[in-house]
Structure 1
Amino acid sequence: MAGVELAGQWAELRRTMENMNLSDQDLLALNERVAAILEQSTQERFEEEKGPDGKSWPPLSEQTLVARARRRTRRKDGSSGFRTKRGNLSRRALRIIENAAILKDTGRLMRSITSKARPEGAAVGTNLVYAAIHQLGGKAGRGKRVEIPARPYLGVSSADEQDLLAMLQEFIEERIEK
């Protein structure tokens, strides 16, 4: 599972938490909260079609849009509903092209996002083989002839950092009150 490790400015917070002598059960509870925040944020990126840096994902290529419309307009009898008898794109094909969502053709990638928590840390990712090409970009397809742009969905945004800091502060305050 691909994941993100929080480092850098978090060092002081980590020392504070180490000094609190938290049990494995406490650390697991904390990391479950971290995982939940990051998993939710990752799911929201699919809806917003933006990476953790806030940049919009590159749009789908015309070839991808046409291929998607061809596949989705195929009839049960094997004939195509992609074009009308006059050779124009069918209304259904046009609707599919106009409403095409990035990285959500089948929804499989979005549904595969999961999180795991252990006392040692939390991870958010997917087990799908093709997920990395969408996260990082690169050449794909037969003969590696298709260039897929990076559309990062995993990562920690500045909003995530704020949510995590607020949650961590709340967690520490809960433990201090005990």
Structure 2
Amino acid sequence: MISVEVNDKQISATLDGIEGKLANQADLMAQIAELLLDSTVERFQTGTAPDGTPWAPKSSTTIAAYEARKEPVSLKPLIGPTKSLSSITNFATASGDDWARISSRAIQSAVMQFGAQQGAFGAFMGIDKRGRRHFHSIPWGDIPARPFLGISAEDEESVMAAIKEWIFPS
């Protein structure tokens, strides 16, 4: 075993400061959650997953459905008429002494994040406005995964910079 004794006051004070900060990381974790929130919201503008791959484009069927309902159409993936999924108000951040989390409140979040196969959630039977019976799968077509939650290489750099600044403020 190697033992090191530090007799330098400045080094000792710095090490004591680091030890004190490591005991309570809540402020750092809250800052990390906010960093991840900002980059997640930005992904909706760039249309890219955390790994940098572009999201699958909207299908022509989806665009036609918006147009048939006379709803505004954005060609950007995951930007619907209400913009609820892409809105910063859709997301929640939380953190504790040693953890940080960002989550989405939107009901469609998991399907957009992971995708879904046609019929994955069963089927719907009903009667349309003209009294005709109809049956369709839920979802009615395959939905490709468009991951928006996650940590990108840029996020890693931002988090590491925040940690360094937190431990050794300038």
TM-score calculated relative to the size of structure 1: 0.68
- Identity score, percent: 28
Structure 1: gaps (5+ residues)? 1-15, 74-95
- What is the aligned-residue RMSD (CA, Å)? 2.3
Q: 2:25 aligns with which of 19, 24, 27?
A: 27
TM-score calculated relative to the size of structure 2: 0.71
| Highest RCO, 1 vs 2 (Cα 8 Å, sep ≥ 6) | 1
Map 1:134-153 onto structure 2 (within 5 A). Answer: 134-139=112-117, 142=123, 143-144=137-138, 145-153=140-148
Letter in 2 for 1:117: S
In structure 2, how many angstroms separate the alpha carbons of the residues matched to 1:52 and 1:63?
26
User: What is aligned with 2:150?
Assistant: 155
Q: 1:109 aligns with which of 85, 88, 95?
A: 85
Residue pair 2:115, 2:144 contacting (<8 A) in 1 also: yes
User: What is aligned with 1:168?
Assistant: 163
Letter in 2 for 1:30: L
Map 1:82-93 onto structure 2 (within 5 A). Answer: none
Q: 1:51 aligns with which of 49, 65, 70?
A: 49
SS class of match (1:110): coil
Q: Deviations over 1:65-84 (max 9, x none)?
A: 100111225xxxxxxxxxxx
Q: 1:129 aligns with which of 100, 104, 107?
A: 107
Q: Deviations over 1:11-45 (max 9, x none)?
A: xxxxx9xx724376x41110111001000000000
SS class of match (2:168): helix
Q: Which has the larger radius of gyration?
A: 2
Q: Could you say if the C-alpha distance between residues 155 and 121 of structure 1 is closer, same or farther in structure 2, counting changes exceeding 3 Å?
A: same
Between 34-43 and 132-141, the greater mean CA deviation after superposition: 132-141
In structure 2, how many angstroms separate the alpha carbons of the residues matched to 1:53 and 1:131?
18
In structure 1, how many angstroms separate the alpha carbons of the residues matched to 2:33 and 2:75?
29
Q: CA deviation at 1:123?
A: 0.3
Between 36-45 and 99-108, the greater mean CA deviation after superposition: 99-108
Structure 2: gaps (5+ residues)? 1-14, 124-136
Q: CA deviation at 1:62?
A: 0.7
